[in-house]
Amino acid sequence: MTFEQLKSFLAVVKHNHFTLASQELFISQSSISKHIKALEKEIGIELFKREHRTIALTPAGEEFLIFAQKSIESYDKMQRDLCKYKSEESEVITIGVIDTMIEYGLAALIGDFHKEYPNIHIELIERGNNSILEYLNVSKFNLAFVNDLGSNNKAMDSYELFSDNLVMVTSENHRFLEDRTIALDKTSKEKYISLSGDPTLHNIFLNVWGNLNFFPSISYIDSQTKTLLALVSEDMGVTLLPDTIATSYKNNINSHIKVINLFDDFNAKTYLVNIKNKKLSKNETLFKNFALKWFDNQSS
C-alpha cells in the first residue's frame, strides 16, 4: 500500500469520477484505476460499487475512507514538521489552488514548468478560496492561486493573471430558459446559491441593489464548485460563475444547466499571491516568475 494509492482513492471519493480524479492528481485515468485495483487486491475487499457509469463506496470503502484520510493527514503533518530540515534548494514546492484552476490551464502550466525544471516537483493543495488564504497565512505553503484577496489583501503581494466574464447559471427547466441575456435587476425574486466565503455575489448585489438596501435570498454551501452546479441543475437555485467554469461543466459533466449571459458587465479575477516580506525559496521564485510569464503569454 502506497501513499500514491491512498491519494488516488481519496481523489476518486472526492469526485465520484475517475477522470476528474486523474485531472486533480495530474496522472492518467489508467494509473488511477491501477491504484484502486491494487488497494482492493491487497486488502481483499471491493472499495467501490461500479454500476453502469456511476461509482459509490461500499460499506468497507466507507470504513477504509477513515483510515485513508488519517494516513494522508499524518503524512502531510510529517512533511510539514520536517520542512525545517530542508534546505532552500528543496526539490518539492507546495502551492495552494482553488478548485476551478484546472479549467484555466493549470495542468498545462505544471507540465510546461516540469519540462523546463524536471528536478522540481509541484505538490498542489486544492481548497476553497478562504481556506487557501488561511493556509497561506500559517505558512502551509507560500504561493497560491486565488480568486479573492480577502480582508488581509494588504499583507499580500498579488498578481492578476486573468479575468473571466460572469454568467448566470440555471437549471434547464428554469423560467429564464428562453433568455440568452439577462439583466440582474430582473432577478430580484430568485434564490441564489453561493460557495461559503465567496464574496462575489455580495459585492455584485451591492453594486446592483445597494442603494435600495436590498439583497435577493442567498444560500451558502461549504463545498466545491461542482456541488454548487449540481444543485443548480436540480433547480435548487441559480448562481453566478465565470463563463469558462460554467461552460466547461455544461459541456463535460452535466448538460442539464443553462448558461445565460449577463447584460451587466461583471467579471471574476484570478491572482497568484504570496505573503509580503516573506522570502520565497529559490524554487518557489522560479515557479512564481514562470507562472506569471506563462499566463502573460496565454493572454497575448
d(CA 25, CA 107): 9
**Average pLDDT of the residues in 219-223:** 80
Mean pLDDT, all residues of the chain:
85
Where is pLDDT greater, at 232 or 179? 232
Buried b (16+ CB within 10 A) or exposed e, 241-269: bbbbbbbebbeebeeebbbbebeeeeebe
Percent of the chain with pLDDT over 70: 95
User: Torsion angle, CA of 270/16/61/128, rounded to 10 degrees?
Assistant: 20
pLDDT per position as a tens digit, 48-77:
888 776 788 888 888 988 998 888 888 888
The answer to whether the CB of 46 falls within 8 A of the CB of 58 is yes
Q: How many angstroms separate the Cα of 214 from the Cα of each of 135, 205, 206?
A: 34, 8, 8
pLDDT per position as a tens digit, 78-118:
877 776 555 444 578 999 998 888 888 899 999 999 898 88
d(CA 27, CA 279): 31
| Confidence (pTM) | 0.64
Neighbours of 215 (CB within 10 A): 15
pLDDT per position as a tens digit, 182-220:
998 888 889 999 887 677 777 888 888 877 777 888 888
* Nearest residue to 244 (alpha-carbon basis) of 162, 130, 126, 132: 162
What pLDDT score does 88 carry? 43
d(CA 32, CA 14): 13
